Structure 1
Amino acid sequence: MRIKDHLPIEELRRLARAEKDIGRFQRLRIVLLGLEGWTAPAIATAVGLSRRICQRWAARYNAEGLAGLDDRRGREPRLPIDAEQEAAFRQRIEAGPVEGDEVCTLRGKDFQRILAAEFNLLRSLPSVYGLLHRLGYSCLRPRPRHRKADPAQVEAFKQAWPERLDKIAAEHPGKRLRVYFQDESRFGQQGTNTNVWAEKGSRPTAVRQTEYEYLWVIGAVCPETGNAEGLLSPQLNTQIVNSFLELFAKTIPEGEHAVMIWDGAGFHTSSALRVPENVTLVKLPPYSPELNPIENLWHYLKSHFWSNRAYADYDALEAAAMAAWRVAVLDQDLVRSVCAAPYLDRATSK
């Protein structure tokens, strides 16, 4: 079988040895055997394909070189809407329900109706879901947002961050800045539920406690290093926050300075607050928990460790909180992932 010498045979052998895709490996082997003088029937027997298929791959290689060995089975399915309709449909999806929809959220049936009424496209429900997925959409639970949140303040905080970090660095020459996010979460007998695996069509049950004992988990995490510091307390006030800051400050290495980002809770702004010398506090804009990635850590702990359970008393809550902290929060790789803060252009001093 005739094969053009687009590449030296040694280079083709190297490519074949490194190839992990079995299909492409077979095609490279067809070319190699052809260059070695094998006939089409012999090559077909050696690679386990028909003679015609081997000849077809040889012809593609002869015409296009290595590019001819690419797998071309099937074509990218075309969307049932053109580019202009796609842009308009995306806007409709992201705008959410309007008054005429008479629902609080758009579901598959609603999109089916919208495509028919506004785009003159009749599609089955599975086809509608397929279109949504191909456009890159999934049905996700939104993060709660306070109605008083100001997007302009949030954006201004992000834009001003590099300059603010430079200013703090200038105030502490010779120190490497480390950014920490701080927050508190209440954990108690007012339980929560999280998802479980169960048979389709069933409605599984799980314990949801409705008693009143609780404790506070106070934490600070560094998304860059994955380091985390925590404190458990039966109450929360400025005195407890001062104790946490004092203990936290002792963990900061000699050559570092901590920049602690937190919210504007009353015990964070009290005149009785005592801030250690190696800590600088930065207050988040009001009603903007999405800027504080330690919130993700509370969600992780509740969904992985603290939900679907009942706790007998305060001691049981304390034991559960410490066990979860040891398993999850002392795992620096997990903390770096769960508490990532991609909106920060910089997390340390230069």
Structure 2
Amino acid sequence: MKVAGHLPLAELKRLERVEKNVNRSKRLRILILGHEGWTAPAVAAAVGLSRRACQEWVARYNRHGLAGLDDHRGGSLNLPLTADQEQTFRERLAAGPTSEDLVCSLRGKDFQRILAEEFGVRRSLPAVYWLLHRLGYSYLRPRPRHRKADPEKIEAFKREWPERIKEIAAEHPHKQLRVYFQDESRFGQQGTNTNLWAERGSRPTAVRQTEYEYLWVIGAVCPETGHAEGLLSPQLNTKIINSFLESFSETIPEGEHAVMIWDGAGFHTSKAIQVPENVSLVQLPPYSPELNPIENLWHYLKSHFWSNRAYDDYDDLEEAAMTAWRTAVLNEELIKTVCAAPYVDGGSNAQV
């Protein structure tokens, strides 16, 4: 973060020492750390605020000096866009880059140009970022979406879910329903990389293996209770899925019935699938991984345990998979958070 030189560092430290207002003292601490070369994430962790909040206080100070650290309760900073312009600008963001933009992702410089050329609003780059944050936008990595995904079918599935769970409850009277999400993930020597801390301006390296041994991690999680069951296998087919369903069904308590939501993979829809009596299967619409929160679990395991590493052989992969499972997936509170599924909340409580 670049802090303007309105006051020398020594003066900012003096003001912090004598400041009696806790919030203002924290804002001075943000400026001091920024002056000393700390990055925005590091400053945010040190003062207990979000990265965006720290950047906004620095931006206010850069524009207005110490007055920028004052509270603005009861009022709001004026946006440079009228209500109609704001709506048009939001539509421009939602539509994404045009062919004239010549980029695949709009960034701060692009929005600076768009504001000037299309709205007649000229602002510095920090002011552009401030505007985007004030409008509620962040620079996020999108979830991959298959080009054949059907948004209408996805919305219909969520809309019809309450009735579907009631029908299943009626078929299994006096049973407590528990909704599980099931999926499989391949984990192997075709490695991935994840973020790491490094000195500013550097480009650190990390191992990314390109060999070919792998295994399948098969899992089912209940976001309501945090209960999870898994199976490791060197291959994946209907026979393996049947083995998983059989072992999974044995973990369901006597008074409960599991509703397992999964995708339409061939080994899920095969006529040879053997469904236990205490399990009901619900198939997701095609190409809709966003409806299956166990996908978040695979991302969590890869980013926290399986990336930036190399594995000697299958046994090494198996040990890494089991260690991650014991560490993370058996933590019920973690599973409730990582695999939260708001669109089915309350549905698992259905009982007849």
TM-score by length of 1: 0.79
Q: What residue in structure 1 maps to residue 47 of structure 2?
A: none
Which residue of structure 1 aligns with residue 167 of structure 2? 167
CA contact (8 A) 1:263 1:285 kept: yes
| Partner of residue 211, structure 2 | 211
Rounded to whole Å, the distance in 2 between the matches of 1:172 and 1:299 is 34
Tell me the matched-pair count: 283
Secondary structure of the residue that 2:342 maps to in structure 1? coil
CA shift in 2, pair 1:23/1:123, >3 Å: closer
- 1:320 matched to which residue of 2? 320
- What's the CA shift string for 1:14-63, capped at 9, x where partnerless? xxxxxxxx869xxxxxxxxxxxxxxxxxxxxxxxxxxxxxxxxxxxxxxx
Aligned ranges for residues 114-125 of structure 1 at < 5 Å? 114-125=114-125
CA drift of 1:125 comes to 1.1
| Partner Cα separation in structure 2 for residue 302 and residue 323 of structure 1 | 13
> In the TM superposition, what are the counterparts of 1:286-305 in structure 2 within 5 Å?
286-305=286-305
Q: Which secondary structure state, in structure 2, belongs to the residue aligned with residue 343 of structure 1?
A: helix
CA positional deviation for 1:327: 0.6
Pair member with larger Rg: 1
Task: Name the structure 1 match of 2:256.
Answer: 256
CA shift for structure 1 position 201: 1.1
Give the Cα separation in 1 of the matches to 2:96 and 2:72: 39
How far did residue 72 of structure 1 move?
A: 6.4
Shift of 1:75: 5.1
The residue identity in structure 2 corresponding to 1:211 is: E
Query: Is 2:104 the partner of 1:104?
Result: yes
Q: CA deviation at 1:85?
A: 1.3
Structure 1: where are the runs of 5+ without partners? Answer: 1-21, 25-70
Measured after TM superposition, the shift of residue 227 of structure 1 is 0.5
Q: Give the Cα separation in 2 of the matches to 1:136 and 1:72.
A: 18
Q: Distance in 2 between matches of 1:118 and 1:282?
A: 48
Distance 1:193 1:284 in 2: 30
Distance 2:265 2:329 in 1: 24
In the TM superposition, 1:1-350 aligns within 5 A as 76-348=76-348, 349-350=350-351
* C-alpha deviation, 1:105, in angstroms: 1.1
Contact between 1:208 and 1:308, CA under 8 Å: does it hold in 2?
Answer: yes
Which residue identity does 1:269 align to in structure 2? Answer: T
Shift of residue 73, structure 1, vs aligned partner: 7.0
Measure, in 2, the Cα distance between the counterparts of 1:274 and 1:87. Answer: 53
Cα distance in structure 2, aligned partners of 1:173 and 1:198: 57
User: Partners in 1 of 2:211 and 2:245 — Cα distance?
Assistant: 31
Report the Cα distance in structure 2 between the residues aligned to 1:278 and 1:247, rounded to whole angstroms: 12
Over residues 283-339 of structure 1, what are the superposed CA-to-partner deviations in whole Å (9 max), with x where a residue is unaligned?
000000000000000000000000000000000100000000011000111000000
Which residue number in structure 1 is paired with residue 17 of structure 2?
none
Q: Aligned with 1:77: secondary structure? A: coil
CA distance in 2, matches of 1:249, 1:75: 58
CA deviation string 1:127-160 (max 9, x = no partner):
1111111111111100000000000000110111
Tell me, in whole angstroms, the C-alpha distance in 1 between the residues paired with 2:321 and 2:76.
50
Provide structure 2 residue ranges, at least 5 long, that are not aligned to the other structure.
1-19, 23-70
Deviation of 1:184 (Å)? 0.2
The share of aligned pairs that are identical, in percent, is: 76
Question: How far apart, CA to CA, are the structure 2 residues paired with 1:118 and 1:75?
Answer: 28
Q: Distance in 2 between matches of 1:253 and 1:312?
A: 39
Amino acid aligned to 1:310 = A
Query: How far did 1:347 drift?
Result: 3.0
1:80 Cα deviation from its structure 2 partner: 1.4
Report the equivalent of 1:36: none
Q: Find the aligned partners of 2:321 and 2:345 in 1 and give their Cα distance.
A: 33
SS in 1 for 2:276: coil
Is the 1:224–1:347 contact (alpha carbons within 8 Å) kept by the matching residues of 2?
A: no
Please identify, of 189-198 and 131-140, the stretch whose mean Cα deviation from structure 2 is larger: 131-140
Structure 2 Cα separation of the partners of residues 347 and 232 of structure 1: 30
1:338 and 1:345 map into 2 onto residues whose CA distance is 14
The 3-state SS of whatever aligns with 2:166 is helix
TM-score scaled by structure 2? Answer: 0.78
2: CA distance between counterparts of 1:214 and 1:72?
56
> Following the alignment from structure 2 to structure 1, what is the Cα–Cα distance between the partners of residues 213 and 256?
39
Task: Give the residue type in structure 1 aligned to 2:253.
Answer: P
* Distance across 1 between alignment mates of 2:262 and 2:300: 19
Query: What RMSD in Å do the two structures reach over aligned CA positions?
Result: 1.5
- Displacement of 1:74: 9.1
